[in-house]
Structures are given as structure tokens and as C-alpha cells.
């Protein structure tokens, strides 16, 4: 038992270093509906803008080896309540599977950093070697003792339990490069998580504005049907008084039937847009939820920010560009990692164990047999130097792949920047045209109302035909529909511009446009 003190010291050292391996999880969101690095409240509007640095370590928010599933607030839908757009976005952020999936990927990427960091610590392992052995050796004769030549044979088994520790001391930056790759992946995961929430905000807002436009069309078509019924009753009254002919009544009934048909189509479109909104929120189309209407608010006459300034400021805020930048940095570190694999590795190793077994000895020079079963302890410590020499060209091939991946990532970043700039330009132009359409719809609506009022008065006094009244009413309803559509389209275009510029980060942003 002479190695017992050394063995106990090594075991104590390994236990202590193993305890140091429990590290805090890198910064991620505590759940699927809270931004990274902030706390969510019941009434607060979470801001999913991108911080300058999402990679700083923080206290562990769940187990570093098995992240807890998000504990979402229960979503109790009140069928008697009308939910505003910010409230609809809030529900979507809690129920949408895409936000949970992005949160889990961000958590997984953060844990990969801990995996790489564990390689900086000693690695402890318990080993057991068990098996049989047969050793045979020819022995020369010894004339002086009168012993002839023969063969000494030992057969038996042995079991060698051992405790081994290996500590990589130097690897020419391989672990540093691997850590940088993992950290960039963790940053990219957090950025993608924020980007997923921004997309949910955009999709819900866009579907909400489409529903607002569809509702306006249904309301206008319903009023058009009521007007058509009024005209039909007027025509029937004039027919009874002998002031109209049957053709006018038939025409009025035809107008009423067409209005009923248009209302049916409008109601169908409204139902489809409502189902699209429920889908964007992660709910079923039959969810009993009432959606509040689009509040009547004033729109600006033009976009206040110049396009060039908007593009320059916005490119650094978009999640896809920030994610592509992390990929560029990760691929550059991949090149360093492959280069380090061609360099030596120096590690400190130590092992303690106990050899146990039984061997039978048979010497052909003598007639007897003997056995040996005495266990003994063993311990070894030293430095291992490893230098790769030949691997069939694998490292050279991997280096070429890493260089190509790094160049491709840089080109992807340039392409994403170009696409992002074009998306901003398109959204900016759409907002301009939507504002212009809404502004132009005002005089058109005023003219339609004046024309219809005049035509209706003339018809009631017998100075205009039913066709003239119907035509003026159709024109008025078309003008109303154009204005309502332009109003909703302007808000949708403003939301699209905020999303394209990376500023659609808060559930209250669409309501503030």
C-alpha cells in the first residue's frame, strides 16, 4: 500500500477540479417571451431590439445541462373583451411555436460554450482493464546446476481498475478558436431569438391591418345593401303612386341582389383575414377572441426621415445582418482551429490503479506447478507530447474547406446587406405611395358624398333616374372603400418599413405609427 497517499492526493485533486466544471450558463432569455438580459412584467412591453453585446456571461437562469422548458403565463381568452393590437402581439409572443423554438436554439448554443470551456479543465476518467493472458518463454540450460533447457509458461487473468486524469496544457490556440466559434454561435442564437420576436410582431401587425381593411369593406358593403333596400322600397312606392315603371323596380331589386352578393364575398374575405391573424398568433381559427378595430388616428403627410439616413442607421439594427456577421467571425475562427490541429499538443497525465489477478506457472524443466495471486498498486505521472505527422491529407482538405466557408460567409454578408437595403427602399416607397393614396382619397370621398346626396335628392323629386342614383352610390362606396383600404395600407406599410429597418422591436410600435 505504499502508493496509497499519492492515490488519495490525486483523487482529491480530480474531485476539486471536477467541481470547478459547473459553470454558469451564458446569457440567454429565461423564457420564450422575454428579451435577453431583461425581465418581463405583466404590463410592460418587452423590447426586442438588439443590444450591442449579447454574449456576456450571467448567472444561470436554469440548469446548465438541461434547460427548463419555458413557463409561460396562462393565456385566458375573454370572449367578451376586445383585444387591441399590442395585446394580440403579446399573446402571439407567448403562444407562437417559432419563438419557443428560437429560444431553445439560443439556449442550446449558449450551452455549447460551456462544453468548449470544459476542455480547459482536467478530464477525469475511471477505467477498468480486465482479461486473460498467457506468457511463454524459453529458458536455456544451466549446466552448473544440472538444469536442462525448457520452457516457462504463465497463464491466468488480471483486473486493473484505475483512475486517470488528463489536463491539456498547450494546443497552439485550438481551444481558443473553438471557444470563439461557440461564442459567436451563442451570440447568433440570441440575435435570431430577438429576430423571431420581431417577425412575430410584424406578421401579427400585418394580419391585423389586413383584417381592419376587410372589416371596413364588410361594413361598407353592409351599408350598401341597406341603401339598395332603401332604393328598392322607394322604387316600389313610386310604382304604387304611378310615378315609376316596373323596369325601375326590377333594376332596384337587381342592385339589391348584387349588394347582397358583394356583402357575402366581403364577409368571406373578412373571415379569411381573421383566420390569417389567428394563425399569425399561433392560435386556431375558431379561437373565441374579439379583435378591436383600428383606431382613427392622424397619419403624417410624409415620411420624416430621409431614405439615405434611414438605410445607414438601419443596417446595423437588422437581425439577419447581425447574424450573418457572427457567421463570418465563426468561420474565421474555424480557419484558426483547423490550423491549430496541425500543431503539437502537450498534456499532463496521471494514473493510479491496482493490479489484481491470478497466474499459474508451469516450467517444463520441473514437474511441479506454482501460482501467483498477489495484488499490487501502481501509479504513473508524466507529460505527453503529441505531434500529428500523417493523416492522409485530411487536415489540408479541412483547411481548404474552412477558407472557402469563410469567404462564402463574407459574400453572404454582402448579399444580405444588399437585400436589406433594397427591402428598406421598397418599404420606404410603399409607405410614400400609401400616404399619397390616403391623402388623395379625402377629396375623392368628399366629391362622392356630394354627388350622391345631389342624385338622391333629384331622384326623390323625379328629376333623376334610379340608375343615376345607383351609379353615384357605387362611386361613393368605392371612394369610402379606397380611403379605408389606404388607411389600413399605410399602417401596414409603416409596419413593414419598421420591420425592414430593424426597429419593429416592441409590441407598442405598430400602435404608435
Percent of the chain clearing pLDDT 90 (strictly above)? 28
Residue with cell 501467483: 372
Cβ neighbors of 401 (< 8 A, separation 6 or more) are none
Q: How confident is the model over 254-268, as pLDDT tens digits?
A: 888 988 998 999 999
276, pLDDT greater than 90? yes
**Helix 466-500 and helix 246-280: axis angle, to 10°?**
10
Q: Residue 325, exposed/middle/buried by CB under 10 A (0-12, 13-18, 19+)?
A: buried
How remote is the C-alpha of 57 from its chain's centroid? 20
Is residue 126 very low, low, confident or very high in pLDDT (cuts 50, 70, 90)? very high
Backbone φ and ψ for 67, nearest 5 degrees, come out as -65, 140
How is residue 125 annotated by DSSP?
E
Number of Cβ within a 10 Å radius of residue 97: 9
Structure-model confidence comparison of residues 231 and 356, the more confident one:
356
Pick from 510, 453, 443, 454: nearest CA to 482 = 443
Separation of alpha carbons 268 and 276, rounded Å:
12
- Coil vs helix vs strand at 414: helix
Percent of the chain clearing pLDDT 70 (strictly above)? 80
Mean pLDDT of all residues in 366-392 = 84
Instruction: Record the pTM.
Output: 0.77
Q: CA dihedral in degrees (226, 227, 233, 238; nearest 10)?
A: 180
How is residue 388 annotated by DSSP?
-
Please measure the distance between the N-terminal and C-terminal CA atoms of the chain and give it in whole angstroms.
81
Backbone φ and ψ for 413, nearest 5 degrees, come out as -65, -45
Q: Which residues pair with 130 in a beta bridge?
A: 159
Q: How confident is the model over 383-439, as pLDDT tens digits?
A: 999 998 888 888 889 999 999 999 999 999 999 999 999 999 999 888 888 888 888
Cell of 38: 431583461
Separation of alpha carbons 378 and 348, rounded Å:
18
Backbone φ and ψ for 291, nearest 5 degrees, come out as -110, 125
95, pLDDT greater than 80? yes
244, pLDDT greater than 70? no
Number of Cβ within a 10 Å radius of residue 314: 21
Q: According to the model, what pLDDT value does residue 146 have?
A: 62
Is residue 350 very low, low, confident or very high in pLDDT (cuts 50, 70, 90)? very high
Mean pLDDT of all residues in 90-114 = 90
Cα Rg of the chain, angstroms = 40
361, pLDDT greater than 90? no
Mean pLDDT of all residues in 301-320 = 80
296, pLDDT greater than 70? no
How is residue 305 annotated by DSSP?
S
Backbone φ and ψ for 70, nearest 5 degrees, come out as -60, 135
Q: How confident is the model over 24-48, as pLDDT tens digits?
A: 446 666 666 666 766 454 445 666 6
Is residue 59 very low, low, confident or very high in pLDDT (cuts 50, 70, 90)? very low
Mean pLDDT of all residues in 229-235 = 81
Separation of alpha carbons 147 and 164, rounded Å:
45
Separation of alpha carbons 399 and 74, rounded Å:
51
Structure-model confidence comparison of residues 55 and 200, the more confident one:
200
Cell of 493: 406599410
- Coil vs helix vs strand at 470: helix
Ordered structural domains, the chain, with CATH: 4-19+82-133+149-512 (1.20.1600.10)
Amino acid at each position: 500500500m505504499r502508493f496509497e497517499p499519492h492515490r488519495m492526493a490525486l483523487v482529491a485533486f480530480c474531485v476539486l477540479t471536477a467541481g470547478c466544471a459547473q459553470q454558469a450558463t451564458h446569457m440567454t432569455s429565461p423564457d420564450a417571451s422575454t428579451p435577453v438580459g431583461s425581465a418581463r412584467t405583466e404590463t410592460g412591453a418587452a423590447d426586442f431590439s438588439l443590444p450591442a453585446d449579447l454574449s456576456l456571461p450571467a448567472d444561470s437562469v436554469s440548469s446548465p445541462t438541461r434547460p427548463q422548458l419555458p413557463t409561460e403565463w396562462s393565456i385566458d381568452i375573454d370572449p367578451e373583451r376586445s383585444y387591441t393590437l399590442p395585446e394580440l402581439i403579446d399573446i402571439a409572443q407567448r403562444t407562437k411555436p417559432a419563438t419557443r423554438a428560437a429560444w431553445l436554439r439560443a439556449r442550446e448554443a449558449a450551452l455549447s460554450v460551456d462544453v468548449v470551456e470544459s476542455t480547459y479543465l482536467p478530464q477525469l476518467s475511471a477505467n477498468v482493464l480486465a482479461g486473460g493472458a498467457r506468457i511463454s518463454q524459453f529458458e536455456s540450460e544451466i549446466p552448473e546446476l544440472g538444469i536442462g533447457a525448457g520452457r516457462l509458461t504463465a497463464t491466468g487473468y488480471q483486473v486493473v481498475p484505475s483512475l486517470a486524469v488528463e489536463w491539456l496544457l498547450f494546443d497552439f490556440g485550438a481551444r481558443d478558436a473553438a471557444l470563439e466559434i461557440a461564442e459567436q454561435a451563442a451570440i447568433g442564437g440570441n440575435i435570431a431569438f430577438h429576430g423571431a420576436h420581431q417577425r412575430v410582431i410584424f406578421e401579427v401587425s400585418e394580419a391585423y391591418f389586413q383584417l381592419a381593411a376587410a372589416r371596413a369593406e364588410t361594413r361598407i358593403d353592409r351599408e350598401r345593401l341597406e341603401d339598395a333596400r332603401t332604393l328598392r322600397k322607394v322604387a316600389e312606392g313610386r310604382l304604387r303612386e304611378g310615378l315609376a315603371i316596373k323596369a325601375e323596380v326590377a333594376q332596384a331589386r337587381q342592385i339589391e341582389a348584387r349588394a347582397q352578393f358583394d356583402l357575402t364575398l366581403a364577409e368571406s374575405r373578412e373571415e379569411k383575414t381573421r383566420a390569417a391573424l389567428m394563425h399569425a398568433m399561433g392560435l386556431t381559427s375558431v379561437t373565441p377572441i374579439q379583435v378591436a378595430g383600428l383606431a382613427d388616428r392622424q397619419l403624417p403627410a410624409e415620411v420624416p426621415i430621409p431614405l439615405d439616413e434611414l438605410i445607414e442607421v438601419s443596417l446595423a439594427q437588422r437581425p439577419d445582418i447581425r447574424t450573418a456577421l457572427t457567421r463570418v467571425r465563426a468561420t474565421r475562427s474555424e480557419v484558426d482551429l483547423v490550423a491549430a490541429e496541425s500543431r503539437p499538443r502537450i498534456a499532463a497525465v496521471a494514473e493510479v490503479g491496482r493490479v489484481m489477478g491470478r497466474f499459474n506457472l508451469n516450467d517444463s524443466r520441473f514437474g511441479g506447478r506454482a501460482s501467483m495471486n498477489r495484488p499490487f498498486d501502481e501509479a504513473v505521472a508524466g507529460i505527453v507530447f503529441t505531434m500529428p505527422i500523417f493523416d492522409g491529407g485530411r487536415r489540408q482538405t479541412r483547411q481548404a474547406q474552412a477558407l472557402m466557408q469563410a469567404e462564402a460567409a463574407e459574400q453572404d454578408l454582402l448579399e444580405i446587406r444588399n437585400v436589406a437595403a433594397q427591402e428598406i427602399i421598397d418599404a420606404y416607397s410603399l409607405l410614400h405611395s400609401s400616404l399619397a393614396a390616403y391623402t388623395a382619397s379625402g377629396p375623392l370621398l368628399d366629391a362622392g358624398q356630394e354627388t350622391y346626396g345631389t342624385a338622391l335628392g333629384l331622384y326623390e323629386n323625379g328629376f333623376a333616374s334610379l340608375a343615376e342614383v345607383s351609379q353615384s352610390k357605387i362611386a361613393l362606396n368605392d371612394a369610402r372603400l379606397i380611403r379605408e383600404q389606404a388607411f389600413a395600407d399605410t399602417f401596414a406599410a409603416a409596419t413593414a418599413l419598421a420591420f425592414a429597418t430593424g426597429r419593429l422591436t416592441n409590441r407598442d410600435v405598430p400602435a404608435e405609427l
